[in-house]
Structure 1
Amino acid sequence: MRVLLSTYGSRGDVQPMAGLAVRLRELGAQVRVCAPSDEEFAKLLAGVGVELAPAAAPVRTLVTGTTPMTPEGLPQRAAALVAAQYEAVAAAAEGCDAVVATGLVPAVAGARSVAEELGVPFVYVACFPTMLPSPHHAPHPLPLWPLPPDTTDNRALWELNAHSFNALYGPGINAHRMSIGRPAVDDVRRHVFTDRPWLAADPVLGPWPQPSDLDVVQTGAWLLPDERPLPAELEAFLAAGEPPVYVGFGSMPMHGSKDVAQVAIEAVRAQGRRAIVARGWADLGLIDAGDDCFAVGEVNQQALFGRVAAVVHHGGAGTTTTAARAGAPQVVVPQIVDQPYWADRVARLGIGAAHDGPTPTLASLSAALETALDPETRVRATAVADTIRTDGATVAARLLLDTVSRELMQ
């Protein structure tokens, strides 16, 4: 059996697909991942022996670039991404028995068109609950399309969200579908999400509330085991003193916080702690030659987070889940999309603090760190760690193969 996994997004979109690919391969399937052509994603997939079919331009260039987005330009960007992902997936999916897609909506739409042409099952995957319509939560704001502050009813907000999907993504998706001989769609969100989306989120960290209008299949988070050792220099730093505080914002460029490294290190020092600073896409660095701080590139967070006093991060699904599994208290400084949701969940579970807003100051980050470093927070984080499931990718892999097998027998 052959499966094509499609995504266009940051590491938080690519790594879960790598986790699913590994499990599918263990169950005997042949797997290929169509993902952005960034060097770090190529290395990630090569490290676990999964074939990469490069899709479109590197996503880091798009995220960290200085060209501002405008409401007028977004539909054109969406249209270009639909076409680019369609071409990449079509080339990679020949002979495949199923297509699974996540990531940016236009890329998912392009992948679904390929599945339709091949006549094979298509699965849409959300990595966080608030991507999917529910009366129990509001949608996240779409790029440059803020939600009206005077509307608080969730159903009304999701109705507005559906209209925004059609306006933002509909022209490009339907123009492309017509160009390949497929019928236009009048409900873009439903077309992309399907009637039975999958939710690759941990049931404790990101539960799907009931009753629900959607037939959502929650598998648990798709984790990719990481067996890499920590660098010797980092091991030496860890051994030289008390557990430090990890600070890193992953794929977020942190354009609105030019002095974020300065603020973070000073806030950590104010708590009497050492710091590990992860460069990430914000290109963070050390602010002086003090021996109480250490800078790292991409490292094994699964090995590291169990050895730190707290994790300060942006609130991506992967980082939140990894920190929760490790029992590490968290400070979430949310920037966009799902990150405010994960910040709220961390605070509600009592396993850390949700920073108020995307731009930390010395005072605000220090206050959040006080909460995270409180002994009671550590106790709660340790307790929650025991509840985090690790079998989500295996559950999804078995479900997918069972679904495809039934389709093939019909």
Structure 2
Amino acid sequence: MRVVLSTYGSRGSVEPMVGLAVRLRELGAEVRVCAPPDEEFVERFAGVGVETVPAGAPVRPLVTTVTPGSAAGLAERAAALMDVQFGTVAEAAEGCDALVATGPLPVTACARSVADQLGIRYVHASHQPVALPSPHRRPPGRRGRPLPEGVADNRALWDLDAQLANTMFGEAVNTRRAAVGLPPLDNVRDYAFSDQPWLATDPVLSPWQPTGLDVVQTGAWTLPDERPLPAGLSAFLDAGPAPVYVGFGSQPLGAPQEFAKAAIEAVRAQGRRAVIARGWAELAPVDDQDDCFAVGEVNQQALFRRAAAVVHHGSAGTTTTAAQAGAPQVVVPQGADQPYWADRVAGLGVGAAHDGPTPTVESLSAALRTALTPGTRARATAVAGTVRTDGATVAAKLLLDALG
């Protein structure tokens, strides 16, 4: 069996595909991944021996320069992503049996078009549930197209979301489909999702409530990380009590050093040391005291097991990794699906959800006091024992079984 995976986005969109690719290969499939050409992503796939095809522009410059929520330049970026699917991805998918796609709508709608053009199986994968139509929650909203306030009917809002998707992307998608002999679409969003999308999240952390959509929840696509921690970090961890981890991953921050200052002061107010993850926002310690240690790319699985708590932005990947490690969490959501994960952390009792995206010393101290209680630690430990670790294997088997 030959499978091509297509993804575009930051670490949260790329890392799950690493897990799926490795498990597919272990089960005998030939796998290649079309992914952004950022150096860290190329190195990640190379490290597990998976063939990659550079697809699209590097993501990090876009994430760190585009104003959050702004629609400026969106049409041009979407058009470029569509062309990549009909070009690079279509070439990579020649002779394959299936195409699995994740990422923004311009990627997945055109990826499915490519699969239809080639006559191969298509799977839409979502690594968070918020974007999948559900009467149980509002749509997340689209850049430059806010949903009307005061409308309580979620079904009506999801219908409006589909119309907005058609307005934003329908003509561009259909123009490209026509060029390869495919008929026009009248519902780009639902076509991209398909009738049976996969949801690659843990059913304890993210229970899917049944809807009219036949969602297949596989569990999160993760891999065990066997990398040793850097010597300097290990020495820091051994030199004192468990620190609080502070990191915002690929999330851009408007004033990163203000974030760092508030976080470090709040951690110190609890009598704790801090590990600061630089991330794409380039966080850094605010002084040269020896109670803070800065890290770059690191084995989060190992580090979180030694953390007193994990302060983060609330991505699906970081939330899941912290939950698997049994680490209490403080989620400071910045947007997208992050408020959802903050609510789940608080609802499960494994940490605290910060109110709003901009922490102060006082607000973060209050959240840390909740996270650092023995009760929260005990609850986080209990939940860790229920979080699945076989989601990528489940998904790989499902796909290969469906192929024959």
> What interval of TM-score do these two structures reach, taking the shorter chain for normalisation?
over 0.9
Q: Compared with structure 1, are the counterparts of its residues 73 and 150 closer, same or farther at alpha carbon in structure 2 (3 Å cutoff)?
A: same
CA contact (8 A) 2:166 2:186 kept: yes
Distance in 1 of aligned mates of 2:66 and 2:72: 17
Q: 1:294: which partner in 2?
A: 293
- Runs of 4+ aligned residues of structure 1 deviating over 6 Å after TM superposition are none
Unpaired runs of 5+ residues, structure 2, are none
CA contact (8 A) 2:133 2:139 kept: yes
Q: 1:402: which partner in 2?
A: 401
Q: 1:96: which partner in 2?
A: 96
Residue 367, structure 1, aligned to residue 343, structure 2:
no
Distance in 2 of aligned mates of 1:51 and 1:219: 24
Q: 1:262: which partner in 2?
A: 261
Q: Compared with structure 1, are the counterparts of its residues 159 and 257 closer, same or farther at alpha carbon in structure 2 (3 Å cutoff)?
A: farther
CA contact (8 A) 2:256 2:283 kept: no
Q: 2:375: which partner in 1?
A: 376
Q: 1:258-337, aligned counterparts within 5 Å?
A: 259-337=258-336
Q: 1:25: which partner in 2?
A: 25
Q: 1:354: which partner in 2?
A: 353
Offset from partner CA, 1:6-26 (integer Å, 9 cap, x none): 100111111101100110000
Q: 1:3-152, aligned counterparts within 5 Å?
A: 3-65=3-65, 70-71=70-71, 73-152=73-152
Shift of 1:72: 6.2
Identity, in percent, stands at 67
Q: 1:207-222, aligned counterparts within 5 Å?
A: 207-210=207-210, 212-222=211-221
SS at match of 1:131: coil
Q: Compared with structure 1, are the counterparts of its residues 138 and 361 closer, same or farther at alpha carbon in structure 2 (3 Å cutoff)?
A: same
Q: Compared with structure 1, are the counterparts of its residues 68 and 340 closer, same or farther at alpha carbon in structure 2 (3 Å cutoff)?
A: closer
CA contact (8 A) 1:278 1:284 kept: yes
Offset from partner CA, 1:37-95 (integer Å, 9 cap, x none): 00000011011110111101101111001578754642332122111233121121121
Shift of 1:395: 0.6
CA contact (8 A) 1:265 1:275 kept: yes
TM-score by length of 2: 0.97
SS at match of 1:259: helix
Shift of 1:173: 1.4
Q: Which amino acid aligns with 1:215?
A: D
Q: Report how many aligned residue pairs link the two structures.
A: 404
TM-score by length of 1: 0.96
Distance in 2 of aligned mates of 1:128 and 1:180: 32
SS at match of 1:33: strand
SS at match of 1:122: strand
CA contact (8 A) 2:14 2:35 kept: yes
Shift of 1:149: 2.3
Q: Compared with structure 1, are the counterparts of its residues 67 and 309 closer, same or farther at alpha carbon in structure 2 (3 Å cutoff)?
A: closer
Distance in 1 of aligned mates of 2:66 and 2:135: 37
CA contact (8 A) 1:162 1:187 kept: yes
SS at match of 2:397: helix
Q: Which amino acid aligns with 1:189?
A: R
Unpaired runs of 5+ residues, structure 1, are 406-410
Distance in 2 of aligned mates of 1:141 and 1:331: 25
Q: Compared with structure 1, are the counterparts of its residues 67 and 314 closer, same or farther at alpha carbon in structure 2 (3 Å cutoff)?
A: closer
Distance in 1 of aligned mates of 2:127 and 2:4: 18
Shift of 1:259: 1.1
CA contact (8 A) 2:285 2:294 kept: yes
Distance in 2 of aligned mates of 1:97 and 1:325: 33
CA contact (8 A) 1:80 1:172 kept: no
Q: Which amino acid aligns with 2:7?
A: T
Q: Compared with structure 1, are the counterparts of its residues 178 and 355 closer, same or farther at alpha carbon in structure 2 (3 Å cutoff)?
A: same
Shift of 1:175: 2.1
SS at match of 2:135: coil
Distance in 2 of aligned mates of 1:120 and 1:62: 32
Q: Which moved more, 1:65-74 or 1:346-355?
A: 65-74
SS at match of 2:152: coil
Offset from partner CA, 1:132-173 (integer Å, 9 cap, x none): 111112221222322322112221221221122112222221
Shift of 1:258: 5.1
Q: Which amino acid aligns with 1:174?
A: N
Q: Which moved more, 1:170-179 or 1:276-285?
A: 170-179
Distance in 2 of aligned mates of 1:97 and 1:175: 26
Shift of 1:179: 2.5
Shift of 1:257: 5.1
